[in-house]
Structure 1
Amino acid sequence: MLNVLPYGVPTLLEEIFGFKQGDPLTAMLDALTNEFAVHQIGGAGGGILRDLFTVSANLPTLSRIFPKDTLLWKLELLKSAVSSANSHIYAVRAETLILLSGRDQWLLNEEDIDRYSHTLPKCNVRKLKDNGHFLFFEDGVDLVSIIKCTCFYRRGKSHDHLSDYIMPTRYELKQQLDDHKLLIDATSPVYLSTLDDGKMVRGLEGIPSEGPVLYVGYHMLLGLELGPMVIQFLKERNIHLRGLAHPMLFLNGKDALADTQMFDKYKIMGGVPVSNFNIFKLLRSKSHVLLYPGGVREALHNKGEEYKLFWPEQPEFVRVASRFGAKIIPFGVVGEDDICDLVLDAYDQRNIPILKDFMEETTKKAGNLRQGDETELGNQICYLPGLVPKIPGRFYFYFGKPIETAGREQQLKDKDKAQEFYLRVKSEVEQCIAYLKMKRESDPYRHLLPRVLYQASHGLSSEIPTFDL
């Protein structure tokens, strides 16, 4: 187009679009463009873009800076660079990360990106659908976080979720708080813990400060309890929980079962693929470890299975915990039925052909990640449950009395003794759940309206009361 157009940038607007400086339409477009710059781009990026629009207001000056010949030369240079890159791309064997802006109106070509991702053998495409051309100038885009979440930061040949983990930055912590603020405010969680003498207290005073500590509990639907709990431990006790999660949450690139950005929060907050070896390494480093023996089976349960434990038969975590003298804290949590109803479970979705095919594919891939486990937990059905939200009730957490394993390593090597100890931990978790289900009935602030009225009269930062302990 430049080859056939007259010289001078102003003629581009006048000849092609019919815009002239001073026209009402041009003024309106300038106003809208500046409005976009203010709302979409913050910080230094917003200033740069606003300066750019200020310069563009004086088109004759811009035409002297970028005459037609200069623009043609720039385009030829770009074409040459593209040809050079395309001729060498097949030789690239290193891991690559492509950041794709979903709202880039200038350079977006998803067909090229798709071709490159298949040409490069170890390619991970990260699509930032809400971002535009000025990617690194826009609020909400942190390159360091992206590198961490895609496992590109590591000390060795392969990524290690323990040794390569970096604590979340202040910005990342704020992002987690913002992401969970609505859920926390809507459910006003109640946290109960147990002191060494057996006394129950509100808050996390009964949680040991020093590790190793293994928290073993019940996984609510979709793991809704996880975010508020991890944040509360950091805020109240400055304890960083390292959660053990299904390996499918840590896949990247072409092997991922879904958009990997959905699981960034687990990686940022220190999630680790569940395995006996990782439990061993975490407890050896005296960490506070969060374990859900029921795993995906509990988090993706069916109708009528609320608050039911689906634990494996083998008590492996008991033996590992006893080896390092870790304290085991059983805990229960209730409240999922207070905020949503499960209307479409795995059995329902099996009767819908499209959803059935998706379930089978994801379940097969997830099962491949846990080869060697032929139990029900090793063949967990992976699906997205259909939920109907309710007027928010309340979340309740109860952490039981710490169970000591120090000095019992030899005793728990016996299979029967280990099984007995394992069933004791499971029974404690069930008792915690039963206690909360019973006591929440007497909580005058279980429902949303009384909590809103209490905070309106006592201040938004006030702690809302609950049932008598």
Structure 2
Amino acid sequence: MLTGLLQIIESSIKNENGLSPNRPIYLIGDSFGGCLALSVAARNPQIDLVLILINPATSFSKTPLQPILPVLEAMPSDLYVTVPYLLSFVMGDPLKMAMVSVGNNLSPPETLQKLSDSLTSMLPLLSELADIIPRDTLFWKLKLLKSGAAFTNSRLHAVQAEVLLLASGNDNLLPSGEEADRLFKSLKNCRVRYFKDNGHTLLLEDGANLLSVIKGANMYRRGRQRDPVTDYLPPTSSEFKKTFDEDHKLFHLALSPVMLSTLENGEIVRGLAGVPDQGPVLFVGYHALMGIELSPLYEEFLREKKTIIRGMAHPILFGGQHESSRQELSRFDTISMYGGLPVTPINMYRLLERNQFVLLYPGGVREALHRKGESYKLFWPDQPEFVRMAARFGATIIPFGFVGEDDVLELVLDYNDQKSIPYLREWIESINQEAQRVRDSVEGEDGNQDMYIPALLPKVPGRFYYLFGKPIEMKRMSNVVRDRKSANEVYLHIKSEVENAMSYLKRKREEDPYRSIAQRALYNASWGITNKGKKGTIS
């Protein structure tokens, strides 16, 4: 029977491969389906497959139910009716399954009522499981599962396909967390996303969006190799709501970011009216500590401009070299979902060629992971190539400044501190030896792109301030493409504009009566949260 199932799947993928030989085929295997997907991949290494495995049943021999399976098999028929009912609670979390149908914008009483209705509607279905899954069918499936797991495990060494494994931490049917550890080591090209609070039926439970996970792990591609420019899928409306109306809502509410932009006549206005509506546009600015300025910036552009900014970032954020078998969804996944891609000249070239909005931080890692006393200091190398590339495509350059990191975070242990601690020094050296090198040709601190994790302490949150400077139309500067001196002059002008923007924001911040979260909270309590800080804010 197992062979027959594999042949059916193989027939389908071979037919699909014949129709589109240059495109990958995605196989999604849930539980026993994970065994089938791995076996098919092992038997067909010549076909370009991407496997998405959800709690694969390759660990069936270690299931906590193993000791009681003989008891269940010997159970009298009149008692069997309780078995599927009980198994349904072992397989998944009923509360999380019921939450799937509960909207996110409901009031607490409405949420409770909707949850109650959802749970109530599930109970009659659970009681009918004994009729849906007869006794002989259940035990036939368990035997098939046992043989399938053994067959698959004997062929793991032959799997060449890319694998994305989704593992649940509260799986009561299979030891999926431990199995993720094993498969992560056994498979040649495997990445894991770990859902510590979910049960076996992960895709039926609230909090797991399969497409979002695939995009965040950079596993979506249309050809033989992933192309970060053309294979990118913008966030859906549900992903946007999940990120900014749920996950980051309190963070943005506490910071109440102020966005300012500059019109062509030099007037500074609230909002993004000074930013062009059409690309190509290149945003060049200051990279704050740990990139904390990114989330509000992306949200505002999506809300007001209905556009995504493609951020150029260090390649280490996309490779997965330092991931583990218990890798949860992380900020790195969010960066990929919202347009981040490795910073390379060819990627920037192709984005500008496609009239995209592109975000570049010339200071790179050295600026985002700066040392104590270096807040708002630019670490730009003497490399004006991005100016010449922008001129080649007639792009508009928008210099911008950001202020607010010193109102939110305090740097306790920086790079210099950690390099003096033996264990941390060795760890920093090891991760940077393995990482793709950036700016090795640049001398001094501007070229120091070593990665490290600073030790930070949160402060009572102040406020974030952004200023997008006057647009610089590069289509009027065609001479910059070949004249390095002219390019360098424009480069220095952009750098000066970024520094001027931060100086302006620092001055205006001192005049803002709502810089303090206490003052903003008092205002919101008086006038309503939808007015958050508009009265008396900087202009």
Q: Please state which band the TM-score falls in when normalised by the shorter chain.
A: 0.7 to 0.9
**CA–CA separation in structure 1 for the residues paired with 2:446 and 2:163:** 34
**1:412 to partner: Cα distance:** 4.5
Q: Provide TM-score, normalisation by structure 2.
A: 0.76
Matched residue, 1:87: 154
Q: 1:292: which partner in 2?
A: 361
CA contact (8 A) 2:93 2:205 kept: no
Deviations 1:185-241 (A, max 9, x none): 111111111111111111111111111111110011111111101111111222321
Are residue 329 (structure 1) and residue 398 (structure 2) matched? yes
Instruction: Give unmatched runs, 5+ long, in structure 1.
Output: 15-25
Question: Secondary structure of 1:7's match?
Answer: coil
Choose which of 218, 235, 254 in structure 1 pairs with 2:286: 218
Which amino acid is 2:352 matched to?
Answer: L
Question: How does the TM-score come out when normalised to structure 1?
Answer: 0.86
Deviation at 1:276, TM superposition (A): 1.2
* Residue equivalent to 2:301: 233
- Deviation for aligned residue 1:461: 0.4
- Give me the whole-angstrom Cα distance separating, in 1, the residues matched to 2:536 and 2:314: 34
2:518 matches 1:461: no
Q: Matched residues in 1 for 2:276 and 2:410: separation?
A: 35
> Which amino acid in structure 2 is aligned with residue 211 of structure 1?
G
User: Secondary structure in 1 aligned to 2:283?
Assistant: strand
In the alignment, structure 2 segments of 5+ residues that lack a partner are: 1-67, 103-114
Matched residue, 1:396: 465
Indicate the SS of the match to 1:332.
strand
Distance between the aligned counterparts of 1:154 and 1:4, measured in 2? 47
Distance 1:448 1:114 in 2: 44
Partners of 2:489 and 2:296 in 1: CA distance = 32
- CA distance in 2: counterparts of 1:369 and 1:233, whole angstroms: 31
Kindly state the Cα deviation for residue 40 of structure 1 after the two structures are TM-superposed. 6.2
1:8 aligns with 2:8: no
1:37 to 77, 94, 103: 94
**Contact conserved, 2:439 with 2:449, CA < 8 A, in 1?**
no
Do residues 129 (structure 1) and 186 (structure 2) align? no
Residue-by-residue CA offset, 1:354-381 (whole Å, 9 max, x unaligned)? 3333222222233x24375454455422
Secondary structure of 1:161's match? coil
Alignment correspondent of 2:216: 149
Higher deviation after alignment, 458-467 or 223-232: 458-467
1:119 and 2:186 correspond? yes
CA contact (8 A) 1:248 1:369 kept: no
What one-letter code is carried by the residue in structure 1 that aligns with 2:253? D
Counterpart of 1:23 in structure 2 is: none
1:173 and 2:230 matched = no
Query: Matched residues in 1 for 2:71 and 2:462: separation?
Result: 67
Asked if 1:97 corresponds to 2:164, the answer is yes
CA distance in 1, matches of 2:232, 2:137: 48
Letter in structure 1 aligned against 2:94: A
For 1:258-407, what aligned pairs fall within 5 Å after superposition? 261-366=330-435, 368-370=436-438, 373-375=441-443, 376-407=445-476
Task: In structure 2, give the amino acid aligned to 1:38.
Answer: L
Does the residue aligned with 1:461 lie in a helix, a strand or coil? helix
Tell me how far 1:300 sits from its aligned partner.
1.0
* Residues 135 and 4 (structure 1), Cα distance of their counterparts in 2 relative to 1, 3 Å cut: closer
Contact 1:193/1:201 (8 A) holds in 2: yes
Structure 2 residue aligned with 1:439, among 508, 511, 520? 508
2:175 match:
108
- Compute the displacement of 1:294 (Å): 0.8
Residue identity in the other structure for 1:342: L
SS state at 2:311 partner: strand
Q: Supply the RMSD in Å over aligned alpha carbons.
A: 3.2
**Structure 1 CA distance, aligned partners of 2:192 and 2:307?**
34
Q: Is the 8 A contact 1:322 1:405 kept in 2?
A: yes
- Which residue of 139, 144, 161 corresponds with 2:228? 161
> Alpha-carbon deviation of 1:66?
5.6
Change (3 A) 1:323 1:70: closer
Code of the aligned partner of 2:418? Q
Relative to 1, partners in 2 of residues 1:323 and 1:71: Cα closer, same or farther, differing over 3 Å?
A: closer
Residues 192, 397 of structure 1: 8 Å contact kept: yes
Deviation at 1:259, TM superposition (A): 5.9
**In the alignment, residue 229 of structure 1 is paired with which amino acid?**
L
Out of 520, 535, 539, the residue aligned to residue 451 of structure 1 is 520
Please give the residue correspondences for 1:402-413 in structure 2 after superposition, counting only pairs within 5 Å.
Answer: 402-413=471-482
Contact conserved, 2:262 with 2:269, CA < 8 A, in 1? yes
Distance 2:457 2:197 in 1: 27
Q: Distance in 2 between matches of 1:357 and 1:166?
A: 38
**Counterpart in the other structure of 2:35:** none
CA spacing shift, 1:427–1:466, aligned 2, 3 Å: farther
- Secondary structure of the residue aligned to 1:145 is helix
Establish whether residue 242 from structure 1 lines up as the match of residue 299 from structure 2: no
Change (3 A) 1:3 1:297: same
CA offset at residue 111 of structure 1?
Answer: 4.3
The one-letter code matched in structure 2 to 1:86 is N
Amino acid in structure 2 at the alignment position of 1:298? E
Please give the alpha-carbon distance, in whole angstroms, between the structure 2 residues aligned to 1:314 and 1:339: 32
Structure 2 counterpart SS, 1:330: strand
8 A Cα contact 1:148 1:268, kept in partner: yes
The one-letter amino acid of 2:520's match is R
Aligned partners of 1:243 and 1:289 also within 8 Å: yes
Distance 1:10 1:295 in 2: 69
Are 1:193 and 1:207, in contact at CA under 8 Å, matched by a contact in 2? yes
Specify whether residues 10 and 263 from structure 1 end up closer, same or farther in structure 2 by C-alpha distance, changes over 3 A only: farther
CA–CA distance in 1 between the matches of 2:78 and 2:427?
53
Farther off after superposition, 92-101 or 315-324:
92-101
How far apart are 1:8 and its partner, in Å? 3.4
Distance 1:402 1:173, change over 3 A: same
Distance 1:136 1:64 in 2: 21
Tell me which amino acid in the other structure corresponds to 1:188.
S
Q: Report the secondary structure of 1:82's partner residue.
A: helix
- The number of residues matched between the two structures is 449
Residue-by-residue CA offset, 1:113-152 (whole Å, 9 max, x unaligned): 3333333222222222222111001112111112222333
